[in-house]
Amino acid sequence: MNRCIGYIGKDNQQLTILREQLGEAIDTFPSYVDILTKKHLFKGREELILLCEQRTPVIDRKGLASLKAAFPSAYIVLIAGNLTSEEKAQYLKLGVRDIITDSLSVEKVRSIISFYSQHQNRVRKAFLEQKESNMKRFRLPIWKRAFDMLFSGLAILVLSPLLLATALAIRLESKGSIIYKSKRVGSNYTVFDFLKFRSMYVDADKHLKDFNTLNQYQSTETEVETKAFTDDLVFGDDDQVLMVSDDFVLTEDAFISQQRTKQDNAFVKLEKDPRITKVGSIIRKFSIDELPQLVNILKGDMSVVGNRPLPLYEAELLTSDEYIDRFMAPAGLTGLWQVEKRGGAGKLSAEERKNLDIRYAKEFSFWMDLSIIIRTFTAFIQKENV
């Protein structure tokens, strides 16, 4: 038991009773000064309870303040006579956790010890859980961050004429900002402002649902119609668990089916997207729209190679245990799934893309990153119109 009890005072009779009935060693200190000069005795103690006899207000004010500074986690108990509410409030402000104003009973001290031990156990448990959580967080390797800074800095410098020309073309074709910002979810589910050259007309995202049938990652399964369930539903059927909303009534099985379909279609990409401008189609074909992400890389939001950061509405569908690993890797400008089939005739399904993200998160290395960068250049001109 890593616990220590200290008694600051001179009531030897009361001290003897406590020692005998508690069955624990109690270190005695006649004054505040005495315990402060011997604070090394308590080094490494996880639980420290200090029982302090009341002195004069001036002595207590200075002594208790010094105790609190020297032993910030100690449970300080004041043994005093009758105190007014104002006096109790003053002592509590000085760092006193509990006040015993009647006779110092062993039962009261036992209760204090039990309470404090339970509290410290909860604190230790929370600390260990937080430590374990921190250990699971992804941390970008030093070599990867150094490469990112060097690569992005040089790329911005070399490509500055192209960046300026693209910005001018976007401004001349359509109204709106040159840079499009969207909230994206990167490694460790961190949300940041994702930068791209604007390639769509203003407010295009507001019409996303209108183009849902063009989504190349859309599942081939027939969408669940809520009306079909409500038409045939027999209320009072004990075999059916109902999910009730303001807009619909679903059986539990139907609800689960809908959620699974949403998860299968977490990635959104449209073929022949009518929201894209003429300049946008060109800069997308050559991936020029992605170049502002060099600023994200320089800031540390992303890496050159990694899993693509997802929009919020896509990331929220990938929080289950089977997909959480994809976020335990850097968010990247290019990645494994971009070079697997882009530049070829094939297309990636949503499940293939998620699996490649997870594979990269588990296997990435310097040589793997180098291979992806080289393959990215060969797949630079996309054969699919995205």
Taking the C-alpha atoms of 86, 87, 91 and 94 in order, what is their torsion angle to the nearest 10 degrees?
70
Q: Which residue stretches of 71-141 are H helix?
A: 85-93, 106-136
The conformation of residue 331, written as its DSSP 8-state character, comes to B
The conformation of residue 235, written as its DSSP 8-state character, comes to T
pLDDT at residue 224, rounded to an integer: 42
- 3-state SS assignment for residue 132: helix
Residue 292, both tokens: 């502002």
Neighbouring CB atoms inside 10 A of 47's CB total 19
Give average pLDDT by consecutive 10-residue segment, the chain, 386 residues.
82 82 84 87 80 89 89 87 86 88 76 82 70 67 94 95 95 90 87 91 62 54 42 41 42 54 54 80 88 95 93 74 80 87 62 88 91 82 46
86 contacts: CB under 8 Å, gap ≥ 6: none
Domain(s) labelled CATH 3.40.50.2300 in the chain stretch across 3-135
pLDDT at residue 381, rounded to an integer: 52
Taking the C-alpha atoms of 372, 377, 381 and 382 in order, what is their torsion angle to the nearest 10 degrees?
-10
Neighbouring CB atoms inside 10 A of 161's CB total 8
| Superfamily name with CATH number, domain 3-135 | Response regulator (3.40.50.2300)
Residue 29, both tokens: 């200190």
pLDDT at residue 110, rounded to an integer: 83
- Nearest-CA neighbor of 287 among 383, 194, 374, 203? 383
Note if the pTM is more than 0.75. Answer: no
**CA distance linking residue 296 with residue 299, whole number of Å:** 5
Chain centroid to Cα 148, Å, comes to 23
272 contacts: CB under 8 Å, gap ≥ 6: 214, 385
**CA distance linking residue 331 with residue 339, whole number of Å:** 16
Neighbouring CB atoms inside 10 A of 106's CB total 12
Residue 290, both tokens: 């992605």
pLDDT at residue 146, rounded to an integer: 95
Residue 177, both tokens: 């900002």
